[in-house]
Amino acid sequence: MAVAARDGKAAAVRAPAAGGALTRLGRLIREVARRPAGLFGLIVICLLLVVVVAAPLVAPYSPYAQDIVHRLQGPSLHHLFGTDELGRDLLSRVIFGARIALGVAIPAVLIAMFVGLLTGLISGYLGGGTDQVAIVGMDAIQAFPAVILALALLAVLGPSLRNVVIVIGVALAPGYARVVRAMTRAAKQNQYVEAELSLGASTTRIAVHHLLPNIAAPLFILIAMDIPSAIAIEAGLAFLGLGVPPPSPSWGALLADGFSYVLISPWAIIAASAALMLTTLGFAMLGETLRDVLDPKLSGTRRRRKKR
């Protein structure tokens, strides 16, 4: 079994050698699912995706339907997670909240990745003055804790779904830029870059064809690891009232509302935090497993391969 695992991993790492992209993806997923943490992450994320896509079908009520008579109830057969202070079904709100969580986190992380990829490639490849300017920019952004920066920007831009996405994207971009920059600088040292230059290849060609493919894998790991941060930031902003405006059922807003009534009924907080916790844990575990699978050099001292 151990041998099989090693073969599978080798194939996943040495990606280009093995068939099409789909086969490779399949092999990667199988390799991730073989590890308990990875399996957990995959299951959580798949469930989440199903819930997000099929929210109206899965949710028993509308997340906005109020039922003042049955407000602040505990879990029951009618309301599995109970109801909030306006009598809205908490399960439905948590389910629709997943849409907001992922709807913010995924585009935000993608924005961060594209911005970071571009800046990192340019500053890493060109070096010199461009690089220095880019570094100062990244430092300026990273000098603030992500949540504080997002808060400040949102205070200026005004809270809306779009602005939350942009702000989180900006706050996370320097992380990608740094990774890409460092890897570009390392990859640039390879002799094939000079060989390409001597054939007359343009900067763009070298960056896109010869540097990008060599730095792509760690980006996927970073994305998986950053989605929980983005979700947490979004929830934090919503908790502080600067996120996606009400009555949208953002998990952070559920927490904030539940917080006001915590002495009467803790169920809103329990439901929202459970959702938050499971989601972030799922992505974090997937990210870590991906890292272990894709780049064994990076993982810690933990034994990764289980003997059966």
Partner 1 sequence: MTADPQSGPLLSVRDLRTFFSDRQGVIARLLRRKSGEVRAVDGVSFDVVRGETLGLVGESGSGKSTLARTVMGLVPATGGSASLDGRELVGLRRREWRPLRRRIQMIFQDPASSLSPRFRVSFLLREPYVINKVPPDQQASVDELLDMVGLSAEQANKYPHELSGGQARRVSIARALALHPEVLFADEPTAGLDVSAAASILNLMRDLRDRLGLTYVLITHDLNVVGYFADRIAVMYVGQLVEIGLGDRILAHPRHPYTQALLACAPVPDPHLNEGHLDNVLGGEIPSPHDPPSGCRFHPRCKYADPRCTDEVPRLEDLGEGEMVACHHWRRLDLTPQPPVEATAAAAAVAQTTL
Which spans of this chain sit near partner 1 (rule: CB under 8 A)?
14, 16-17, 190-192, 194-202, 205, 209-210, 213-214
Of 206 and 285, which has the nearer Cβ to partner 1? 206
| Best CA proximity match to 119, nearest among 177, 54, 179 | 177
- Smallest distance from partner 1 to CB 238, Å: 41
Of 157 and 201, which has the nearer Cβ to partner 1? 201
Report the greatest alpha carbon distance in the chain: 77
- Compute the distance between CA of residue 261 and CA of residue 37 in angstroms, rounded to an integer: 35
Are the CB atoms for 281 and 274 separated by under 8 Å? no
- Smallest distance from partner 1 to CB 102, Å: 31
- Compute the distance between CA of residue 305 and CA of residue 307 in angstroms, rounded to an integer: 6
- Compute the distance between CA of residue 98 and CA of residue 80 in angstroms, rounded to an integer: 17
- Smallest distance from partner 1 to CB 290, Å: 19
Of 135 and 141, which has the nearer Cβ to partner 1? 135
- Smallest distance from partner 1 to CB 15, Å: 9
Are the CB atoms for 296 and 221 separated by under 8 Å? no
Of 27 and 34, which has the nearer Cβ to partner 1? 27
What does the block give as tokens for 99? 């849409």
Of 191 and 301, which has the nearer Cβ to partner 1? 191
Tokens 């953002």 correspond to what residue? Answer: 250
- Smallest distance from partner 1 to CB 199, Å: 5
- Smallest distance from partner 1 to CB 119, Å: 20
Tokens 């929830």 correspond to what residue? Answer: 235
Of 215 and 286, which has the nearer Cβ to partner 1? 215
Of 60 and 213, which has the nearer Cβ to partner 1? 213
- Smallest distance from partner 1 to CB 190, Å: 5
- Compute the distance between CA of residue 80 and CA of residue 133 in angstroms, rounded to an integer: 54
Residues in a beta bridge with 83: 89
| Best CA proximity match to 112, nearest among 180, 44, 159 | 180
- Smallest distance from partner 1 to CB 16, Å: 5
- Compute the distance between CA of residue 76 and CA of residue 92 in angstroms, rounded to an integer: 14
Torsion from C-alpha of 254, 255, 257, 263, nearest 10 degrees? 130
Of 17 and 57, which has the nearer Cβ to partner 1? 17
Measured over the CA atoms of residue 125, residue 128, residue 130 and residue 135, the dihedral's sign is positive
Distances (CA, A) of 244 to 100, 274, 296: 8, 20, 39
